[in-house]
Amino acid sequence: MATDHNSLYEASSSPLSKSPWSSHMDTHHNSSTTSEDNSCSVLVGSLIREEGHIYSLAASKDLLYTGSDSKNIRVWKNQKEFSGFKSNSGLIKAIVIAGEKILTGHQDGKIRVWKVSPKDEAQYKRIATLPTLRNYIKCSMKPSYYVEGQGRRNRSQLWIKHYDAISCLGMTEDHSLIYSASWDKTFKVWRAENYKCLESVTAHDDAVNAMVLGFDGLVFTGSADGSVKVWRRELQGKGTKHFFSQVLLKQECAVTALAINPEGTVLYCGSSDGLVNFWEWETTLSHGGVLRGHKLAVLCLATAHNLVFSGSADMSICVWKRALNGEHHCLSVLNSHTGPVKCLAVEKDVDAMCGERRWMLYSGSLDKSVKMWRVSQPQHHHHHQSQRNSTDASYPRVMSMRKMGSKRY
């Protein structure tokens, strides 16, 4: 959702000073879980934010990183504030963990790279801002690095810089390439070693809301223009070149979220009409069906094993299980937030018993809170129908149930 740029850059206290967060453990009041079988999803805690909406989450082992429309990124450990670091720009829309480095994407179109101190794991230092000043000055002297500008000013612009908010970030498995996508309709590729921008692709006719890196060098982008596109990456010398491959989906409703299952065989796409389309990969991508579980826009997706989690503007989270035959069933519906669910992160529960399939699900909301859920997966699923587990082998012909104004998410 587009936000007034001028309202974001108010001064805020250092995250290492007195925290505006409060932790509430076992907060079961005002929450409900609707279960469709013997699965167990339990709300185990809440982190209540008093200074900003939650726009991004990232989890790694026992650490949780939270980004909001303040300038602070906070780090949580065992549901308690562990550390934090402060940026120069508010509205942190994306967080990616890459070993000891943390990447954050911001409203000002810049990527900031942070590193954990080798002497103190609670200390974080900003080591780079992308594009780097050196790269920016060098490219500004070469006419070949300028492209025709977009928008009202329509002046020539350097293609190594994003000119609108960064909506999502990604990294290749070997951590050699960084990807960023933006409301400026482009995605860019950066070399992680020296933070040089290698390539910029004008991918859509409107804001790029979602991007995921897939199998066999494929990149998937979803946009406010209602399309999902597939791009193929090729390495050329020291750089990269991305070629358009195909359009998977074209609709009136904005594409708001993308996710791939851990095995890299299923692509999920959430839209502003409340539906989740999915495609299955064997030798080619084929449309597998539609998950119908939400009344309003799907704003975020996450996957773990054969589970899919969808968060929505209707304030609920659906937990889906994918069977071996490709059918999806809604295991439970999580209701505790009092605002749209904007972001999700999931990690295997370190306290799970041997052989037990159990995950910690983190959900961030525009109600300024983060909820922590323990999701246990049943070993055997009883097949039955419910209103929330329908799949359809054809594309949906459903208009948006609510016009949310902007198609930027």
Of 141, 127, 138, 15, residue with least CA distance to 68: 15
d(CA 186, CA 259): 19
Q: Which fold has domain 55-250?
A: Methylamine Dehydrogenase; Chain H (2.130.10)
Sign of the CA dihedral running 36, 37, 39, 42: positive
Model confidence pLDDT, tens digit, residues 392-404:
433 333 333 333 4
Residues 293 and 318 sit within 8 Å (Cβ to Cβ): yes
Share above pLDDT 90 across residues of the chain, in percent, rounded to a whole number:
63
Residue-level pLDDT at 36: 52
Q: How confident is the model at residue 389 (pLDDT cuts 50, 70, 90)?
A: very low
DSSP annotation of 380: S
pLDDT, tens digit, 9 for 90 and up, residues 343-365: 999 998 877 777 778 999 999 99
136's enclosing H/E stretch is helix 133-140
Phi, psi of 5, rounded to the nearest 5 degrees? -60, -35
Spatial distance between the Cα atoms of 180 and 178, rounded to a whole number of angstroms: 7
Q: What is the pLDDT of residues 221-252, one digit of tens each?
A: 999 999 999 999 998 888 899 999 999 999 99
Most confident of 6-10, 13-17, 243-247: 243-247
pTM, full prediction: 0.85
- CA-wise closest residue to 78 among 379, 355, 365, 350: 350
Could you tell me which residues come within 8 angstroms of residue 232 by beta carbon, excluding any fewer than 6 positions away? 217, 218, 219, 242, 243, 244, 245
Residue extents of the structural domains in the chain: 19-48+261-409, 55-250
**Bridge partners (DSSP) listed for residue 300:** 311
3-state secondary structure of 160: coil
* Beta-carbon count within 10 A of 167 CB: 27
Residue 33 pLDDT greater than 70, yes or no: no
Q: Are strands 341-348 and 22-25 parallel, antiparallel or unpaired?
A: unpaired
Tell me what percent of the residues of the chain surpass a pLDDT of 70: 82
Contacts of 147 (CB under 8 A, 6+ apart): 156, 157, 158, 159, 200
Enumerate helices (H) and strands (E) in the chain, giving the number of each.
1, 32
What pLDDT band is residue 405 in, cutting at 50, 70 and 90?
low
Place of tokens 């922590």: 372
Phi, psi of 69 (to 5 degrees): -90, 15
pLDDT band at residue 156 under the 50/70/90 scheme = confident
